[in-house]
Structure 1
Amino acid sequence: MWIKICGNTDVNDCLLAAELGANALGFIFAHGKRLVTAERVAAITAELPPYLEKIGVFTTRDYDGIVRTVETAGLTGAQLHGPLDFGLSERLRAYFGDVDRCAVIQVLPWWTDVSAELQREAFATEARESAEDGSADALLIDSRTQQQSGGTGVAFDWAAAKSALESVDYRLIAAGGLHAGNVATAITTLKPWGVDVSSGVELAAGRKDPQKLAAFIAAVRAAEKDNS
């Protein structure tokens, strides 16, 4: 199972994640306490193994700005938050080319402060349209509130989201409020292709807790084995 550790700001945290078996690291260029600059990330990625995926998290629709950040920071992929923009994801897919990586990730929000009944149809429609377009390598399901577009640290209703995704055959990444204590349940319920964690393995915003990080990755690998 693909594991992404997001919200990184420190090279030692990144090196530890790689040593523990993470597949990808995420760097936030959108907003919040984990915000980093392309120059700072460039210094980090220069120290990382080449096989490790390095993904920028963006809310902007500015293609040129995303590409500049990707090139400056030494990234291998882009994670897109905000309204669906297939034109943007298709241009980025062409930019990254045919690579064996998760280069373009489209985020689909599941609102934690809106009932499942009120959002299920719209969520399912966006998921189907994204899968049919096919320009993203994976769809990341993240919890969202009226105040925060991501990084809420709150788990969403996995069973309700799963029911809305029944007709969608695509790579799915589970995110939002995951930690070592609940990731196995999320994996069993959603059957995702990958998982993404940030606050669930932190000591403080942007800094990882080595014990939480190790426990999370071990829990994912155990759940992967149990669900194989």
Structure 2
Amino acid sequence: MIRVKVCGLMNENDLTHCVQAGVHTLGFVVEFPVSVPWNLTRNQAKELIQAVPPFVNTCIVTGGAVEKVVSLAKKTRPNVVQLHYEETLEDVTTIARELREIGIKTIKALRIDSEGKCKFDIDDPTEAAQALSKSGVSAILVDSYTESMPGGTGVMVDLTTFQTIQQSSALPVILAGGLNPDNVQSIVRDVNPFAVDVLTGVEAKHGEKDASKIKAFMLNVNKN
């Protein structure tokens, strides 16, 4: 079974559409260090997370200093924190340890640029995956990186690079970047990720999801 995370949720209506469609994890962008269209305050995120029913996971997507990330996690109490910014390996290791102590898991995003390099203090994808496998995080997420947008780029990750990271990682590897209802079935069949993460591919517009696209996305993932 391929697990699905829908990210960039900003209202209870979209949250309900995701739950009804069988989405496994609901993602909320919270106090991201740079301006993105999906940013919530910690109080807004806390209210939405509290509205999520049992047996559906929640994830905040954030980044920055260790103290800030841990504070956000304690305030919002998600199941998972996804680090999606310029955290160093040392930062990631510290955050994963501190969150584990309060029962929250950590995912680190490896954002891959057009040259196949990671936007990380270890820029080689193989070496980065190997190092993160020992950092205490629970999974690695592979996303595309552009200068104009740190996430939600709508740009596909090179699938050969994704497979290299899969092969180098002792952890589950999640695929993000450019996924939508039309392409997800073939991509899942080709690279068999642990999970897929979609944001712009199921939007009506920034900050608002399209219920029909969410249903189609789930249907096409589950055809494999």
> Fold match, TM over 0.5?
yes
Over 3 Å counting, the alpha-carbon distance change for 1:88 and 1:52 in structure 2 is farther
Q: AA paired with 1:20? A: A
> Conserved in 1, the CA contact under 8 Å of 2:63 and 2:69?
no
Q: Please name the residue that 2:126 is paired with.
A: 124
Q: AA paired with 1:48? A: V
CA RMSD of aligned residues (A): 2.2
User: Which of 49, 56, 72 is residue 53 of structure 2 equivalent to?
Assistant: 49
- For 1:15 and 1:164, locate their aligned partners in 2 and report how far apart those are by CA, in whole Å: 33
Over 3 Å counting, the alpha-carbon distance change for 1:166 and 1:68 in structure 2 is closer
Between stretches 29-38 and 83-92, larger displacement belongs to 83-92
> Conserved in 1, the CA contact under 8 Å of 2:9 and 2:27?
yes
Q: Please name the residue that 2:152 is paired with.
A: 151
What is the CA-CA distance between 1:109 and the residue it aligns to?
1.2
**Structure 1, unpaired ranges of 5+:** 224-228
**Structure 2, unpaired ranges of 5+:** none
Greater share of helix residues, 1 or 2? Answer: 1
Q: Please name the residue that 1:94 is paired with.
A: 97
Matches within 5 A, 1:1-228: 1-29=2-30, 30=32, 31-60=35-64, 62-97=65-100, 103-111=105-113, 113-114=114-115, 116=116, 122-131=124-133, 133-163=134-164, 165-223=166-224
Percent of aligned pairs sharing the same letter: 25
> Conserved in 1, the CA contact under 8 Å of 2:59 and 2:78?
yes
Q: AA paired with 1:24? A: T
- For 1:5 and 1:126, locate their aligned partners in 2 and report how far apart those are by CA, in whole Å: 25
Between stretches 193-202 and 133-142, larger displacement belongs to 133-142
> Conserved in 2, the CA contact under 8 Å of 1:110 and 1:161?
no
- Give the aligned length: 216
- For 1:210 and 1:20, locate their aligned partners in 2 and report how far apart those are by CA, in whole Å: 8
